[in-house]
């Protein structure tokens, strides 16, 4: 089974990229059925060590918002209408995969080496997965618009620069959409994080950029007004830079309370994600959707298990 799939993937790869990369893809996909790692640990409170704030590099100039707003945003992703067999409706769930950094760091399971990430994307491609946009996911949940049975959403939290340098070329190679939830205070301001020019390029090329608050606050510890402030300011910041509406957010640490839901509605977000659970499901509630944690410790069998078994825990 894996062999046939590998062949298909190989053909795809031969057509588009260097043969040397083919070796790594085939090799990984031919892995015999090893013991599946049952590591279900949810790392909801653990975040990557963030370097101290560095002085702003004077050569990095944030774009002037007013001039950017005059341009029509490029490549705003339109909702697709899915037809034909093998569709599903919102009585079923969707795996929304949660990544952070795509780079190797010894012992840090939140940083996935790019070779491993590429192996996972290759796997999605050869299994025939469709990567949904957040608007499509929203339509699915709210209006029961059907989506392919094999649908997945790829999300990245925090806005690490390696999402641009390492993940983006791989996503492009396979023609996948994805979402990066950024901490807006870090944009142009902190080493290791995305710049405004990078998020503009991402947003213009099929990678949605959405909010992960202003300063990675633990929302439930803030007053209602402080929650409003970080939800509103991160939204405005991104709307100014990207010239398009920001409607989605991922809660830092997956942390929220009743005030968060009130503030989310007040600030006109349409959908929000936690860091817990398994597949996203209508029953989660549109402002507290589950996501599927992906660790650097998982092999391709565990990736497959989480992707195909909605009750993988």
Q: How far is the CB of 216 from Zn ion (least distance, A)?
A: 6
Q: How far is the CB of 151 from Zn ion (least distance, A)?
A: 24
- Which tokens is 256 given? 């929220």
Compute the radius of gyration of the chain from its Cα atoms.
19
258-266 and 224-242 helices, crossing angle to 10°: 40
Identify which of residues 21 and 50 has a Cβ nearer to Zn ion in the complex.
Answer: 50
Identify which of residues 95 and 252 has a Cβ nearer to Zn ion in the complex.
Answer: 252
Q: Which residue is at the shortest CB distance from Zn ion?
A: 157
Q: How far is the CB of 185 from Zn ion (least distance, A)?
A: 12
- Which tokens is 185 given? 């205070």
Measured CA distances, 234 to 1, 230, 259 (Å): 46, 6, 17
Measured CA distances, 240 to 67, 69, 158 (Å): 10, 7, 19
Q: How far is the CB of 199 from Zn ion (least distance, A)?
A: 16
**Interface residues toward Zn ion, by CB under 5 A:** 157-158, 252
| Residues 120, 114: Cα–Cα separation, whole Å | 10
| Cβ atoms within 10 Å, residue 23 | 12
Q: How far is the CB of 273 from Zn ion (least distance, A)?
A: 11
**CA-closest candidate to residue 233, choices 259, 251, 215, 256:** 215
Identify which of residues 168 and 193 has a Cβ nearer to Zn ion in the complex.
Answer: 193
Q: How far is the CB of 107 from Zn ion (least distance, A)?
A: 19
| Residues 22, 18: Cα–Cα separation, whole Å | 7
| Residues 139, 81: Cα–Cα separation, whole Å | 10
């Amino acid at each position: 089974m894996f062999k046939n799939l590998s062949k298909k993937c190989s053909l795809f790869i031969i057509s588009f990229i260097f043969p040397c990369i083919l070796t790594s893809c085939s090799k990984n996909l031919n892995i015999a059925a090893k013991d599946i790692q049952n590591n279900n640990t949810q790392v909801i409170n653990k975040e990557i060590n963030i370097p101290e704030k560095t002085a702003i590099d004077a050569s990095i100039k944030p774009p002037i918002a007013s001039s950017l707003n005059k341009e029509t945003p490029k490549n705003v992703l339109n909702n697709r209408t899915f037809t034909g067999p093998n569709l599903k409706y919102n009585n079923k769930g969707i795996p929304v995969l949660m990544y952070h950094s795509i780079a190797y760091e010894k012992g840090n399971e939140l940083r996935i080496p790019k070779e491993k990430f590429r192996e996972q994307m290759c796997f999605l491609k050869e299994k025939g997965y469709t990567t949904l946009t957040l608007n499509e996911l929203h339509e699915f949940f709210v209006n029961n618009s059907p989506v392919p049975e094999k649908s997945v959403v790829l999300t990245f939290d925090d806005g690490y620069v390696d999402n641009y340098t390492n993940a983006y070329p791989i996503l492009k190679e396979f023609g996948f959409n994805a979402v990066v939830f950024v901490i807006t205070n870090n944009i142009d301001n902190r080493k290791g994080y995305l710049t405004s020019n990078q998020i503009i390029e991402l947003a213009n090329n099929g990678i949605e950029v959405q909010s992960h608050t202003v300063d990675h606050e633990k929302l439930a510890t803030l007053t209602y007004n402080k929650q409003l402030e970080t939800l509103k300011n991160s939204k405005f910041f991104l709307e100014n830079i990207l010239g398009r509406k920001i409607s989605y957010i991922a809660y830092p640490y997956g942390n929220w309370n009743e005030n968060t839901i009130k503030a989310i509605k007040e600030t006109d977000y349409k959908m929000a994600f936690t860091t817990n659970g398994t597949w996203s499901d209508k029953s989660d509630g549109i402002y507290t959707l589950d996501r599927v944690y992906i660790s650097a410790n998982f092999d391709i069998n565990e990736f497959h298990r989480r992707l195909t078994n909605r009750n993988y825990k």
